[in-house]
Chains A and B, each alone.
Chain A
Amino acid sequence: MITNEIKAKIRAIVGAENALDSTIECFGYSYDSSFVPMETKNIPQLVVRPAAAEEVSQVMVLANEQGIPVTPRGAASGRTGGSIPLEGGISLSLDRMTKVIEFDEQNMMITVEPGMRTIDVYNYAAAKGLFYPPDPGSWKYSTIGGNVAENAGGMRAVKYGVTSNYVMGLEVVLADGTIIHTGGKAIKNVTGYNLTQLFTGSEGTLGIITRILLRLIPMPKMRNTLQMMFPQLDDACHTIRDMLLTGVVPATAELMDRVSLEAVARYRKLDVDPKVDACVIMEVDGDTKEDLKKQADRIETIAHKNSVLEVQVAASQQESDEIWAIRRGLSSAIGAMAPTRLGEDISVPRDAFPETVRLIRKISEKYKLTIAVYGHAGDGNLHPSVLCDLAKPEEAERAHHAVDEIFAAALSVGGTLSGEHGIGITKRPYITKALGEAGVNTLKLIKQSLDPKGILNPGKIW
Chain B
Amino acid sequence: MKNTDKQEQYLKKAGEIVSQCDRCGACLPVCPLFGAKDIEFSSARGKNNVARGILQGVIQPTPAAMAVLNFCLLCRTCVDNCPSKVQTDEAMIALRQYFAEKNGTPGAKYKALGNLMKNRTLVKFSAGALKVLRKTGLNSLVPHGMAPGEFTRKEYLASFAGPAALSGSVPSSPVQLAKKAKAAYFRGCGMHMMFPDAEKESIAILRSVTDLQLVDNVCCGLPHLAHGLRGDFLAMAKKNIALFEKADVIVSDCASCSGTLKHIGAYFADDPEWKDRAAAFSQKVMDFSEYLTHIGYTPRHRVAAKLTFHEPCHLGRGQGVKKQPRELLKAAGDYIEMKDANVCCGGAGSFHMDYPEVAAAILDKKRINIENSGAQIVVTECPTCLVQLNKAAANSGGKFKVMHISQVI
- State the A residues within 8 Å of B (CB): 20, 22-25, 27-29, 31-34, 37-40, 43, 47, 75-77, 95-96, 117, 138, 140-142, 267, 328-333, 335-336, 339, 341
CA distance A47 to B39 in the complex (A): 10
Chain A residue contacts of B83, Cβ below 8 A: 267, 328-333
Write the chain A residue with the least CB distance to B46. Answer: A28
Which of A22, A34, A332 lies at the interface centre, i.e. has the most chain B CB atoms within 10 A of its CB?
A332
Q: Is the CB of A38 within 8 A of B58?
A: yes
13 contacts across the A-B interface (CB closer than 8 A): A24-B50, A33-B24, A34-B23, A43-B58, A47-B39, A76-B23, A76-B25, A77-B25, A138-B24, A141-B24, A142-B25, A331-B22, A331-B83
CA distance A415 to B377 in the complex (A): 62
Q: Is the CB of A38 within 8 A of B52?
A: yes
B231 within 8 A of A: no
Nearest Cβ in chain B — how far from A462, in angstroms?
25
Q: Is the CB of B22 within 8 A of A332?
A: yes
From DSSP, what is the main secondary structure of chain A's interface residues?
loop
Write the chain B residue with the least CB distance to A79. Answer: B24
CA distance A360 to B168 in the complex (A): 67
B59 within 8 A of A: yes
Q: Is the CB of A75 within 8 A of B28?
A: yes
Q: Is the CB of A77 within 8 A of B56?
A: no
Write the chain B residue with the least CB distance to A22. Answer: B64
Instruction: Tell me which of A40, A140, A339 contacts B29 (CB under 8 A).
Output: A140
Chain A residue contacts of B68, Cβ below 8 A: 24
Q: Is the CB of A31 within 8 A of B22?
A: no
Nearest Cβ in chain B — how far from A458, in angstroms?
20
- State the B residues within 8 Å of A (CB): 19-20, 22-26, 28-29, 38-41, 46, 49-50, 52-53, 56, 58-59, 62, 64-65, 67-68, 82-86
Q: A29-B40, A43-B58, A140-B26 are in contact. List 19 more A-B contacts (CB 8 A).
A: A23-B64, A24-B62, A25-B39, A27-B41, A27-B53, A28-B41, A33-B23, A33-B24, A38-B53, A38-B56, A38-B58, A39-B58, A43-B59, A76-B25, A95-B38, A141-B26, A330-B83, A331-B83, A335-B84
CA distance A33 to B41 in the complex (A): 15
Q: Is the CB of B84 within 8 A of A267?
A: yes
Write the chain A residue with the least CB distance to B52. Answer: A38
CA distance A117 to B46 in the complex (A): 18
Write the chain B residue with the least CB distance to A339. Answer: B19
CA distance A43 to B83 in the complex (A): 27
With contacts defined as CB atoms under 8 Å apart, how many contacts are there between chain A and chain B in the complex?
A: 95
Given contacts A24-B65, A267-B84, contact A141 B49 (CB under 8 A): no
Nearest Cβ in chain A — how far from B331, in angstroms?
26
Q: Is the CB of A31 within 8 A of B84?
A: no
Q: Is the CB of A331 within 8 A of B24?
A: yes
Given contacts A141-B29, A328-B83, A329-B83, contact A20 B39 (CB under 8 A): yes
CA distance A28 to B25 in the complex (A): 12
Instruction: Tell me which of B46, B59, B84 contacts A336 (CB under 8 A).
Output: B84
Instruction: Tell me which of B25, B64, B65 contacts A33 (CB under 8 A).
Output: B25
Q: Is the CB of B49 within 8 A of A332?
A: no
Q: Is the CB of A335 within 8 A of B39?
A: no
Instruction: Tell me which of B23, B29, B39, B85 contacts A32 (CB under 8 A).
Output: B23
Write the chain B residue with the least CB distance to A143. Answer: B25
The 10 closest A-B pairs by CB, nearest first: A28-B40, A332-B83, A335-B22, A336-B84, A329-B83, A77-B25, A332-B22, A141-B25, A24-B64, A336-B20
Nearest Cβ in chain B — how far from A361, in angstroms?
24
CA distance A71 to B392 in the complex (A): 41
Q: Is the CB of B29 within 8 A of A332?
A: no
Q: Is the CB of A341 within 8 A of B49?
A: no
CA distance A142 to B38 in the complex (A): 15
Chain A residue contacts of B86, Cβ below 8 A: 336
Which of B25, B53, B59, B86 lies at the interface centre, i.e. has the most chain A CB atoms within 10 A of its CB?
B25
Write the chain A residue with the least CB distance to B81. Answer: A140
CA distance A72 to B53 in the complex (A): 22
Instruction: Tell me which of A39, A40, A47, A332 contacts B24 (CB under 8 A).
Output: A332
Nearest Cβ in chain B — how far from A339, in angstroms?
6
Nearest Cβ in chain A — how far from B125, in angstroms?
39
Nearest Cβ in chain A — how far from B36, in angstroms?
13
Chain B residue contacts of A335, Cβ below 8 A: 22, 24, 84
Q: Is the CB of A23 within 8 A of B59?
A: yes
Chain A residue contacts of B23, Cβ below 8 A: 31-34, 76
Nearest Cβ in chain B — how far from A294, in angstroms?
34
Chain B residue contacts of A37, Cβ below 8 A: 56
Write the chain B residue with the least CB distance to A95. Answer: B38
Chain B residue contacts of A47, Cβ below 8 A: 39
Write the chain B residue with the least CB distance to A137. Answer: B24
CA distance A328 to B58 in the complex (A): 31
Which of B39, B46, B53, B83 lies at the interface centre, i.e. has the most chain A CB atoms within 10 A of its CB?
B83
Nearest Cβ in chain B — how far from A80, in angstroms?
13
CA distance A47 to B84 in the complex (A): 29
Nearest Cβ in chain A — how far from B91, in angstroms?
14
Given contacts A23-B59, A28-B39, A117-B29, contact A332 B84 (CB under 8 A): yes
CA distance A22 to B62 in the complex (A): 12
Q: Is the CB of B50 within 8 A of A27?
A: yes
Write the chain A residue with the least CB distance to B40. Answer: A28
Given contacts A24-B50, A24-B68, A95-B38, contact A141 B22 (CB under 8 A): no
Nearest Cβ in chain B — how far from A143, in angstroms?
10
Which of A24, A39, A141, A331 lies at the interface centre, i.e. has the most chain B CB atoms within 10 A of its CB?
A24
Q: Is the CB of B56 within 8 A of A25?
A: no
Chain B residue contacts of A40, Cβ below 8 A: 58-59
CA distance A95 to B133 in the complex (A): 45
Chain A residue contacts of B56, Cβ below 8 A: 37-38
Chain B residue contacts of A328, Cβ below 8 A: 83
CA distance A270 to B92 in the complex (A): 30
CA distance A114 to B49 in the complex (A): 25
CA distance A77 to B27 in the complex (A): 11
Chain A residue contacts of B64, Cβ below 8 A: 22-24
CA distance A77 to B49 in the complex (A): 14
Given contacts A31-B49, A336-B20, contact A267 B85 (CB under 8 A): yes
Write the chain B residue with the least CB distance to A37. Answer: B56
CA distance A30 to B126 in the complex (A): 46
Chain B residue contacts of A267, Cβ below 8 A: 83-85
CA distance A28 to B49 in the complex (A): 8
CA distance A96 to B68 in the complex (A): 22
Nearest Cβ in chain A — how far from B65, in angstroms?
6
Chain B residue contacts of A117, Cβ below 8 A: 29
CA distance A28 to B31 in the complex (A): 16
Chain A residue contacts of B82, Cβ below 8 A: 332
Write the chain B residue with the least CB distance to A141. Answer: B25
Write the chain B residue with the least CB distance to A29. Answer: B40
Write the chain A residue with the least CB distance to B65. Answer: A24
Chain B residue contacts of A140, Cβ below 8 A: 26, 29
Chain B residue contacts of A23, Cβ below 8 A: 59, 64
CA distance A81 to B62 in the complex (A): 27
CA distance A20 to B65 in the complex (A): 15
Chain B residue contacts of A27, Cβ below 8 A: 41, 49-50, 53, 58-59
CA distance A141 to B25 in the complex (A): 6
Nearest Cβ in chain B — how far from A17, in angstroms?
10
Chain A residue contacts of B19, Cβ below 8 A: 339
